[in-house]
Structure 1
Amino acid sequence: MRLWAVSVGPLKHVYPGPMPDIGIVQLLVAALAGIVIGVVAMWALNRSMTSVEEIDTVSASVADSDIQSVLTAVPQAHILLNAAGDVERASTIAYSLGLVRGSRIIRSEIVAAVHEVTAAGEPKDMELSLRRSFANTGRIVLSIRIAPMSGNRTLILFFDTTEAKRLEETRRDFVANISHELKTPIGAIGLLAETIQDVADEPENVVAFSAQLQRESVRLASLVQDIIELSRVQDGAAIAHGELVSVDDVVAEAIDRCRIEAESRGIILASAQAPDAQVFGDRPLLTTAVRNLVDNAIRYSNRGGRVSVGVTCFEGDVRIAVVDQGVGIPPELRERVFERFFRGDDARTREEGGTGLGLSIVKHVAADHGGRIELWSEPCKGSTFTFIIPEAYAPDTEQEEQ
């Protein structure tokens, strides 16, 4: 007798006798089904693994996209380092300033700070002073923040604080200077008041000291007014509500304000006007600027001299030139005369009553009106200050109606 067997999974059945034909068919069907199920299972497994890889790839892509979006949004320039310390991304300025070359940071100070951040896992702030690439152009001060990120990355954010540092130094100097300048007339007024009280029974001395007291009070008032004017012109909104201004009217008013001072010194004031010259801006500020130039010319002119004011229009600009025949300015001082509280001849300026703010105000007014100030000077021959601002364009009435 023949025995035949059929295996289904772990079970095995043994049957006596010959294998029936129907059993062969069932066996073949079961075998084919097993093959198909195996193939489908392998396909499903491979598909599943592929999907996981795709998800990881998409996730990494999304993460990189998020990082790029964040770096684009922050105002600071950046350098992003990978786990090996190589540069993944960097702002263009990082290469321009010489912080990055190729895929490496070349500034040893930053590299050392990155190592500290990596070891401690805490952010670090630092400042770095760099020499500009061009000769005699000073240094750049960078404020830098280094912070660890996920994936063993390191992010470096930095921005240029050179201008902020300069402004802070200027502010400190200004406070120191203004304190000194205010202290002098205030101290003199107090001393003169005590002296007048002591000589109350001496009319001649009272008159003399009273005249000095008046001069010091005028000087103090002038200084305070100049401080107010300087604060105003340093405000960017000073000419937010400008108007169409006749340059001849500005010059005439400025000369009229200085006429008494000029006559007391025996100085002749002359002007050459341009009737059609107009500018757009703040008339009181423009008048103050021209008055300061004329007043400065009078104070530094010799008695019996001449101060001239001329107005011309050239290539879209209005040029107001104030010419004196005074002592002139040495070449090494011509740039500094526009600094606040700078005096070329300190003793003479104090004697004449100047505050040292007039030309600084002129420079700011010109800049606020989109212009500039130019200086020509020759020692013992005189000086010419030229106030230059854009000419206003006013269309003809007939053109507007058309």
Structure 2
Amino acid sequence: MDSTQLALLALLAGAIIGGAITVLVVVALDARDRAHAVTSLSVPDGVREVVHAMDDAAVVVDNSYHVLAASGAAVPFGFTEGTTLPGEPLREVVRHARAADSSRETLRLQRVTAPAEARLVVVRATRISPRLILVVMRDITERERVEQMRRDFVANTSHELKTPVGAVSLLAEAIESAADDPEQVRIFASRLTAEASRLAALTARIMNLSRLQSDDLSPDADVSIDEVLTAALEAHALQAASAGVTVVRGGKRGLYVRGDAQILTDAIGNLISNAIAYSPAGADVGVGVRLVDGVVEVVVTDRGIGIAPADQERIFERFYRADQARSRRTGGTGLGLSIVKHAVSRHGGEVRLWSRPGRGSTFTVRLPATEGPADLPRDKRDKKKKKKKKDKRAA
């Protein structure tokens, strides 16, 4: 073997040895990286920034449930960096994700900041490394509440419509059976008319509530509070007289708000109607108006049976009745206060309630005041402005 062949053989052997060494180095580095990934507790590049930018509550935890990164929305639940993931149900979701790469569960988590309440959340856990789990918690409390209200509304509407419809059907059969007895026919016909009126009133209130909840309602006219109260009081004068209740009106006059006169009349009328219905004979119902810091307040006060504290939280819900038996006797639909709340809310205002059982109730409707219609004669507008300035100085 000459020198050329020996050189080529040496070169080949060197290349083989060098390649083998390179492969060994690459394998060693890869093994080191895998071992580091398995044992590393550092959050991968970019993950921490993504977690911090999330609107939902999100945390990155290790196998010991230590929080390594947390979003701002996770803080109200007590999840901050350096703390430990609380609660066995939440840890169970993490364990499932560690075994199956991902898991999902709906849980109730307690907020630790105000309002300190249990919230319904959908928890999704995903493994992002052998030792790190990303947990995302989406709060669905409001969505679930709205869905429950929708189910309750459908159920309550069906129930409320079922009663008068069934009564109309039975009375129609009774009239047919009593065709030879004019006196009985008159009695049944009178009751049939009453049930038909009740059905019509319920249908009208449901339609009004639906209209108030629609997006196309935009009150854009100057409304005189004096005219609203006059119309509402006249509409319920007969009810007050029949119940032996005196409605007393007082307070400031000449105030205006921006809105829909008919909607506001119906809303105030519902409060007056309730005050009359829940007051004893001989009692007074007060309706007053005042201007407070640019806000018109319409106050309806009665000295009736009052509302228990537990019922005050739900009194504005659709079909909710604090006194079921009395509402039935008075023909209440359970929609009046819900209509009031939505009507006032659509006008940029709010409704406040004060009540004590046995002492009565006070409902206060607060609406933003306005200057009044632009087409008033100039001298009247000037007088009105001067009067407002005088009232401010007096205050």
- Deviation per CA, 1:58-111: give whole Å up to 9, x if none: xxxxx834x466546654232234688754421133243124550643443333
Between 135-144 and 163-172, report the one with greater CA deviation.
135-144
Verify the 8 A CA contact 2:318 2:335 in the aligned structure 1.
yes
Q: How is 1:1-400 mapped onto 2 (pairs within 5 angstroms)?
A: 64-65=45-46, 67=47, 70-71=50-51, 75-81=55-61, 87-100=67-80, 102=82, 104-121=84-101, 123-133=102-112, 138-149=117-128, 153-235=132-214, 237=215, 239-272=217-250, 274-377=252-355, 379=357, 382-392=360-370
Taking structure 1 as reference, are residues 135 and 118 closer, same or farther at Cα in structure 2, changes over 3 Å only? Answer: closer
Corresponding residue SS for 2:348? coil
SS of alignment partner, residue 370 of structure 2: coil
Counterpart code for 1:98? G
Larger radius of gyration: 1
Q: CA deviation at 1:305?
A: 4.4
Contact 2:222 2:373 in 1 (8 A): no
CA distance in 2, matches of 1:326, 1:156: 53
For residues 197-233 of structure 1, give each alpha carbon's deviation from its aligned partner in whole angstroms, at most 9, with x where no partner exists.
Answer: 1001111111111111111111111111222222233
Determine the C-alpha separation between the residues in 1 that align with 2:125 and 2:233: 59
Percent of matched pairs sharing the same residue = 40
My pick for the range that moved more, 242-251 or 219-228, is 242-251
Provide Cα deviations, 1:102-160, integer angstroms capped at 9, x if missing partner. 06434433333223223223x21112212343799541222111123368643221121
Distance 2:71 2:195 in 1: 57
Q: Contact between 1:248 and 1:273, CA under 8 Å: does it hold in 2?
A: no
Give the SS at the match of 1:105.
coil
Deviations 1:164-210 (A, max 9, x none): 22222222222222222111111111111110110011111111111
Paired residues, number: 337
Task: Look up the SS of the partner of 2:345 in the other structure.
Answer: helix
Query: C-alpha separation between the residues in 2 aligned to 1:103 and 1:306?
Result: 60
Question: After the TM superposition, which of the residue ranges 369-378 and 285-294 deviates more from structure 2?
Answer: 369-378
Which whole-Å CA distance do the structure 2 matches of 1:285 and 1:181 have between them?
23
For 1:310 and 1:343, locate their aligned partners in 2 and report how far apart those are by CA, in whole Å: 25
The alpha-carbon distance between structure 1 residues 153 and 348, as it changes in their structure 2 partners (threshold 3 A), is closer
> CA contact under 8 A between 1:279 and 1:391: conserved in structure 2?
yes
Matched residues in 2 for 1:83 and 1:131: separation? 23
Q: Which residue does 2:31 correspond to in 1? A: none
8 Å contact 2:56–2:74 — kept in the other structure? no
Q: Deviation digits for residues 228-253 of structure 1, max 9, x if unmatched?
A: 22223334x36434332221121122
- Assess, with a 3 A threshold, how the Cα gap between structure 1 residues 395 and 345 changes in structure 2: closer, same or farther: closer
Name the counterpart of 1:60: none
Q: Distance in 2 between matches of 1:313 and 1:200?
A: 60
Asked if the contact 1:77/1:94 (under 8 Å) is kept, the reply is: yes
What is the TM-score with the length of structure 1 in the denominator?
0.72
5+ long unaligned stretches in structure 2: 1-5, 8-43, 383-395
**Given that residues 54 and 71 in structure 2 are in contact (C-alpha distance below 8 angstroms), is that contact kept between their aligned partners in structure 1?**
no
CA contact (8 A) 1:95 1:101 kept: no
The CA distance in 2 between the partners of 1:111 and 1:331, in whole Å, is: 38
Partner Cα separation in structure 2 for residue 167 and residue 285 of structure 1: 24
Counterpart-to-counterpart distance in 2, 1:265 and 1:166? 38
TM-score, structure 2 length as denominator? 0.73
